[in-house]
Structure 1
Amino acid sequence: MTDPFTPRAQRRLRRRLLDDDSGAATAEYAIATMAAVAFAGLLVVIMRSDEVRGILTDLVRRALTVG
């Protein structure tokens, strides 16, 4: 019976395990999604500010004013 842990078999197994990048795209999408959610949360906090709300309201009023 041959030894399953020969150096050649170990190299093949190591190469197969280390070269496997399945799931990498999923992890990248998860990180990008988490960053987008964090950015959206930051925007919500900023938009709740009375000062920012006033600036945006004034901007819309001026844009809709004719003349």
Structure 2
Amino acid sequence: MAAIPERNPAFVHCGPLNQADISARVRIFLRGSIEMGKAPNWQATFTDKVAYLPIAAFNPRRIH
């Protein structure tokens, strides 16, 4: 498996309780199940894999 590139300093991971300056960025909303204890935390896996991109990822699951 190929190594994941380094995190891009322009990458932003936005949860429901935090805000960030996301002007002039590509924005992705991570739509899907967030049922705590039942749904896998696929959002964390996704954001880890795309953190090398200069994007803003909006995650409806609370970030702990």
TM-score class, shorter-chain normalisation, is under 0.3
TM-score, normalised via structure 2 length:
0.24
If the length of structure 1 is used for normalisation, what is the TM-score?
0.23
